[in-house]
A and B are shown apart, each in its own frame.
Chain A
């Protein structure tokens, strides 16, 4: 097998893995979202806004394709992501109530808060 063929095969495997991740992730997220839709009261259903749907899909595939150590490293960093999500959700709640802003704008714009907190924690504590 020539080098080019090997490269092509690797690219194909990567594309297939990405596609599988897309489908599995979409299904997990949709399933948790449906649960959030049917549960009452709203404050309890809100818990499902931070369901581990992406994590379950990703970690299952990571353990399968890259092993336990890789998945453990991902899970460790996920703790920082969860802290950042907490700060983000509190900020969204506060901004909507205090400034009477539309949720669609606040929830999208506040993603920068998540990015800032997550990467700061990873840089300061994670390394």
Chain B
């Protein structure tokens, strides 16, 4: 299956959905900083992989799919749940990449330029996650 860009997804998302994601993302980033300041980087670091916006995203995916299938006269609630479960499965694969991202930064920060380490770790996240997705698709 080919990976493609579908801009219609942007039209389905309401402005308050974007606002909620911004709010959750901002809050968890600020909270991670405060936790690290109060209890140290070991505890604060845990929250760098906190599923901050996942509940909001899964709910949104479920809602959109439900509406779409209802309009087509199909079982909306059931299809909505399946789409959300698929979103969770994708996120699980993304977590493997997330661990790789963290490992690279742990080992290489301070060794190379910051932008190289962060950029390289970001690309590694995409590479590992994409590869896991591809392997799962082929199997």
Query: Which A residues have a C-beta under 8 Å from some C-beta of B?
Result: 14, 17-19, 21-30, 33-34, 36-63, 66, 68-86, 88-90, 92-93, 96-97, 100-104, 107-108, 111, 114, 118-119, 122, 126-127
The B contact surface, by secondary structure, is helix
Contact call A92/B3, Cβ cutoff below 8 A: no
Contact call A55/B94, Cβ cutoff below 8 A: no
Complex CA–CA separation, A119 to B96 (angstroms): 19
Tell whether A30 pairs with B44 under 8 Å between CB atoms, given A49-B58, A100-B81. no
Query: Which B residues have a C-beta under 8 Å from some C-beta of A?
Result: 1, 3-7, 9-10, 12-13, 18, 21-30, 32-34, 36-37, 40-55, 57-59, 61-62, 78, 80-99, 101-103, 105-106, 109-110, 114, 118, 121-122, 125, 129-130, 133, 136-137
Residues of B within 8 A of A81 (CB): 45-50, 102
The A contact surface, by secondary structure, is helix
Contact call A47/B130, Cβ cutoff below 8 A: yes
Residues of A within 8 A of B125 (CB): 51-52
Contact call B106/A23, Cβ cutoff below 8 A: no
Tell whether A25 pairs with B29 under 8 Å between CB atoms, given A43-B133, A50-B98. yes
A51 partner, pick from B22, B40, B94, B114, beta carbons under 8 A: B94
Tell whether A26 pairs with B62 under 8 Å between CB atoms, given A36-B57, A103-B84. no
The closest CB in chain B to the CB of A24 belongs to B29
Instruction: Looking at the assembled complex, report how far the CB atom of B19 sits from the nearest CB atom of chain A, in whole angstroms.
Output: 9
The closest CB in chain B to the CB of A25 belongs to B29
Contact call A38/B94, Cβ cutoff below 8 A: no
Instruction: Looking at the assembled complex, report how far the CB atom of B63 sits from the nearest CB atom of chain A, in whole angstroms.
Output: 8
Tell whether A40 pairs with B57 under 8 Å between CB atoms, given A72-B105, A83-B99. no
25 A–B pairs (Cβ distance < 8 Å), ordered by A: A25-B32, A30-B22, A33-B25, A33-B53, A33-B57, A39-B6, A40-B6, A45-B90, A49-B57, A49-B58, A50-B97, A51-B125, A54-B28, A59-B105, A60-B114, A70-B36, A73-B45, A75-B109, A79-B106, A82-B98, A82-B102, A96-B81, A103-B85, A118-B46, A118-B49
Return the 10 tightest CB-CB contacts between A and B, nearest first.
A46-B90, A25-B29, A29-B25, A77-B45, A50-B94, A81-B49, A68-B110, A103-B84, A26-B26, A49-B91
Complex CA–CA separation, A80 to B103 (angstroms): 10
Residues of B within 8 A of A104 (CB): 55, 58-59, 62
Contact call A61/B118, Cβ cutoff below 8 A: no
The closest CB in chain B to the CB of A35 belongs to B5
Contact call A61/B33, Cβ cutoff below 8 A: yes
